[in-house]
Amino acid sequence: MIELLAPAGDLEKLKFALLYGADAVYVGGQNYSLRANAKNFSLEDLHEGVLYAHLLGKKVYVTVNIIFHEDDIFGLEDYLKELDKIGVDAIIVSDLYVVRLAVILGLSLEVHLSTQASVLNENAALFYKEMGVKRIVLAREANVRDIQKIKEKTGLDLECFVHGAMCTSFSGRCVLSNVVTNRDANRGGCAQVCRFTFDTDESPCFSMTSKDLNMISYIEEMIHVGVNSFKVEGRMRGIYYIATVILAYRRIIDKILTHSLTDFDKKYYLKVLNRVANRESAPQFFKELPTEKEQYFLGREEVSNQDFLGLVLEYDEKAKKVKIEQRNYFKIGDVVEFFGPDMETFSYTIHKIENDLGESIEVANHPNMIVYLPIDKPLKKFDIMRVKLFDKDEDL
């Protein structure tokens, strides 16, 4: 089984992730999750999300991966039972007590071991397997030899991060946030102090930030060595980022499985992914230890991405007109493109814009305003309009 696993910070993001090609999503509940600043899911939200995913034949995993202090234990047993009742497919945990409790309770859901446990060797993996863990989310520091050996010796499902933010410390085992801001990194409060800039005698902008992870060029090799689930980081990210990244990996994985992947495909989707992010990216630990080239030390530029122009709300087949919710400024004469999960990306030159009163306008410059564009090609709800990135036939 090959799985593409997407982040979802709320119900809207869950639906976009699944529509754009994820086989499963991982979400945080309002307790026991390492993304305390995300909106996260109430039990009612989880119930709705699970129903939606299961109707599509897809899965939902819930993070219960904080490091538990004594006060955190209260209510945990009831919470796990409720997740099981809702039909959650798996919980992602790091604390051994939670692993043991889930087994004692006889829950139907699977137990997946979080990357917070930092598993990098076969003996650790076998220990957790004996405890009842069905899948290991390997430490981000796992290299290709680690992955292959663990797979060969354990037969466990292996999940690896392939895209998104990296931790400067070892798979989240950092206390900088605790010391500097009194926010506990291992209970969901990380302030990302590693991304701060510091004044020193040598430089006024010293930092210690890792560049993002990007494994799109190595997916085929990861499949070959036994990775089952390809995990994208980003529960705090927006729908445009999720849709773009998940669709890119979906297309790459499908082409690998159908033996139709080309060098052009890899170059094209790598370029798409590099454009959507606001930090540079690298394969990090997969082939060799990262060097100074995979990190930021003396400043960086993180530009907010403005490519997301509009969200398709509906398409009028008879009038050949698309209804769009504007997200960023566009005007008559702009060359844009539309992409979605069930279509080939195509470009379009805007020659007419109507507002919701049917009046012709020159620009769409108000956030979330409703506009209409005449387009011959049919579109679907939740397709996306963005800035034209580049020509597919240009030199990549």
**3-class DSSP assignment, residue 393:** coil
Confidence (pLDDT) at 144: 95
Are residue 239 and residue 327 in the same domain, yes or no? no
Q: Looking at the domain assignment, is residue 392 inside a domain?
A: no
Are residue 103 and residue 21 in the same domain, yes or no? yes
Are residue 323 and residue 282 in the same domain, yes or no? no
Task: Name 347's bridge partners.
Answer: 337
Are residue 125 and residue 217 in the same domain, yes or no? yes
Q: Hey, what are 21's tokens?
A: 């090609």
Q: What is the DSSP string of 170-238?
A: STT---HHHHHHS--GGGT----GGGS-B--SS-TTEEEEEPEEE-GGGHHHHHHHT--EEEE--TTS-
Calpha distance 150→139 (Å, rounded): 12
Last-in-domain residue among 233, 268, 294: 294
Are residue 287 and residue 322 in the same domain, yes or no? no
- Number of helices (H) and strands (E), helices first, in the chain? 10, 22
Cβ atoms within 10 Å, residue 47: 16
Q: Looking at the domain assignment, is residue 299 inside a domain?
A: no
Backbone angles phi, psi at 55, to 5 degrees: -65, -30
Confidence (pLDDT) at 152: 97
Last-in-domain residue among 226, 259, 294: 294
Measured in whole angstroms, the distance separating CA 61 from the mean position of its chain's CA atoms is: 13
Q: Looking at the domain assignment, is residue 303 inside a domain?
A: no
Q: Looking at the domain assignment, is residue 393 inside a domain?
A: no
CB 229 within 8 A of CB 160: yes
Q: Looking at the domain assignment, is residue 16 inside a domain?
A: yes
Last-in-domain residue among 260, 294, 328: 294
**Rounded to two decimals, what is the model's pTM?**
0.91
Confidence (pLDDT) at 325: 97
Calpha distance 276→386 (Å, rounded): 11
Q: Looking at the domain assignment, is residue 137 inside a domain?
A: yes
Q: In total, how many domains does the chain have? A: 2
CA atoms within 13 A on the CB side of 324: 30
Q: Looking at the domain assignment, is residue 142 inside a domain?
A: yes
Q: Looking at the domain assignment, is residue 394 inside a domain?
A: no
Confidence (pLDDT) at 393: 60
Give exposure, 331-364, as e/b (b: 16+ Cβ within 10 Å): eeebebbbbbbeeeeeebebeebbeeeeeeeeeb
CB 92 within 8 A of CB 65: yes
Are residue 212 and residue 339 in the same domain, yes or no? no
pLDDT in tens, the chain (396 residues): 899 999 999 999 999 999 999 999 999 987 776 555 556 789 999 999 999 999 999 999 999 988 888 888 889 999 999 999 999 999 999 999 999 999 999 999 999 999 999 999 999 999 999 999 999 999 999 999 999 999 999 999 999 999 988 777 776 677 777 788 887 766 666 777 777 777 777 767 777 788 888 899 999 999 999 999 999 998 888 999 999 999 999 999 999 999 999 999 999 999 999 898 877 777 888 888 888 887 777 766 666 678 999 999 999 999 999 999 999 999 999 999 999 999 999 999 999 999 999 999 999 999 899 999 999 999 999 999 999 988 766 555
Are residue 121 and residue 244 in the same domain, yes or no? yes
Q: Which long-range contacts (CB under 8 A, 24 or more apart) does 43-51 make?
A: 43/82, 43/86, 45/10, 45/11, 46/83, 46/86, 46/88, 47/86, 48/11, 49/8, 49/11, 49/14, 49/25, 50/86, 50/87, 50/88, 50/89, 51/87
Calpha distance 7→151 (Å, rounded): 24
CATH code at position 176: 3.20.20.70
Cβ atoms within 10 Å, residue 70: 6
Calpha distance 370→189 (Å, rounded): 37
Structural domain range at position 324: 308-387
Confidence (pLDDT) at 188: 65
Q: State the Cα angle at 73 between 68 and 78, rounded to 5°.
A: 130
Confidence (pLDDT) at 234: 87
CATH code at position 334: 2.40.30.10
Burial class from Cβ neighbours inside 10 Å (0-12, 13-18, 19+) for residue 196 reads middle
Strand order in the sheet with 353-355: 346-349, 335-339, 384-387, 308-316, 321-326, 370-374, 353-355, 360-361
Are residue 83 and residue 231 in the same domain, yes or no? yes
Are residue 327 and residue 285 in the same domain, yes or no? no
By DSSP bridging, strand 281-282 and strand 212-214 are: parallel
Are residue 10 and residue 139 in the same domain, yes or no? yes
Are residue 205 and residue 232 in the same domain, yes or no? yes
Are residue 237 and residue 377 in the same domain, yes or no? no
CB 25 within 8 A of CB 18: yes
